[in-house]
């Protein structure tokens, strides 16, 4: 998930520090909607999979999240089809958290609407209504079982990421009108990209042709 905020100077400095950290551990390529990985449910992590290999993947997921400026990232978003997500709701990026096999045990009846973004939907921002509080059980980065009451941004991130683990996205939590608008925005952005790609290749061709004729003139 991404936040809908303009970065200030301190946030930019923090992002640079995170970039340095990220480059050391390696970043994974992001799956962009409508990639199939974002439409398939992830499998639970088995007890025998709780080991160094999982720790390495989780580290790379955190790096990828920091590198791309996200506050949450789920396995399927990097093609890792296991029930794992990472998050950092701290504005300075100093509170990395890992959730293995997370389950929402309880959700508050109070609903809250807030703008969300998603690393798998570049540029898209949409208001999504979700329970304000949730109780989540999970296994943490030290492979210990945990049960947390979550509210605010943490509750929102957890619900957004668990949705990814179920093969869904925030599109599924939008009202039909919001979803229709979001899909129109995605199509529009894609068309713009295609036109931009085409015009830049036309430009490149023109530059090449100009250089050739210049050479000929000489
Ligand atoms: Zn997302």
Q: Pick the catalytic residue: 3, 161, 185, 205? A: 161
Q: What is the pLDDT along the chain (218 residues), one digit of tens a residue?
A: 888 666 677 766 766 666 556 556 678 999 999 999 999 999 999 999 999 999 999 999 999 999 999 999 999 999 999 999 999 999 888 899 999 999 999 999 999 999 999 999 998 999 999 999 999 999 999 999 999 999 999 999 999 999 999 999 999 999 999 999 999 998 888 888 777 766 555 455 555 555 555 554 44
Q: What is the pTM of this model?
A: 0.81
Q: Are 181 and 167 in contact (CB under 8 A)?
A: no
Q: What sign does the dihedral 179-103-36-120 (CA atoms) show?
A: positive
Strand partners, 145: 139
161 is catalytic: yes
- What's the confidence (pLDDT) of residue 103? 98
C-alpha angle 68/74/77, rounded to 5°? 65
Percent of the chain predicted with pLDDT > 70: 82
Q: How far is the CA of 120 from the centre of ligand 1 (A)?
A: 6
Helical packing angle, 52-67 and 9-25, nearest 10°: 140
Listed residues: CB within 5 A of ion ligand 1? 118
Q: How far is the CA of 117 from the centre of ligand 1 (A)?
A: 7
Which alpha helices (H) appear in the chain, and where do they start and end? 9-25, 52-67, 152-165, 176-217
Give the tens place of pLDDT for each residue, 84-140: 999 999 988 889 999 999 999 999 999 999 999 999 999 899 999 999 999 999 999
Residue 212: CB atoms within 10 A of its CB come to 10
Q: How far is the CA of 56 from the centre of ligand 1 (A)?
A: 21
Return the SS3 of 122. strand
- What's the confidence (pLDDT) of residue 92? 85
């Amino acid at each position: 998930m991404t936040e809908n905020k303009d970065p200030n100077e301190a946030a930019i400095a923090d992002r640079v520090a995170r970039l340095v950290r990220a480059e050391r551990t390696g970043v994974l390529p992001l799956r962009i909607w409508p990639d199939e990985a974002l439409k398939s449910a992830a499998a639970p992590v088995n007890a025998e999979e709780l080991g160094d290999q999982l720790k390495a993947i989780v580290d790379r997921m955190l790096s990828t999240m920091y590198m791309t400026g996200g506050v949450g990232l789920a396995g399927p978003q990097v093609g890792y089809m296991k029930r794992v997500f990472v998050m950092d709701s701290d504005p300075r990026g100093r509170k990395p958290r890992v959730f293995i096999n997370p389950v929402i045990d309880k959700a508050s009846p109070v609903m809250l609407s807030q703008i969300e973004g998603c690393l798998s939907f570049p540029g898209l921002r949409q208001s999504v209504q979700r329970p304000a509080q949730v109780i989540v059980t999970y296994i943490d980065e030290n492979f210990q079982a945990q049960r947390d009451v979550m509210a605010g941004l943490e509750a929102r991130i957890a619900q957004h990421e668990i949705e990814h683990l179920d093969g869904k996205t925030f599109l599924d939590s939008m009202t039909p009108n919001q979803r229709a608008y979001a899909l129109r925005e995605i199509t529009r952005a894609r068309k713009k990209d295609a036109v931009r790609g085409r015009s830049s290749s036309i430009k490149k061709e023109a530059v090449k042709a100009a250089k050739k004729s210049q050479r000929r003139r000489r």
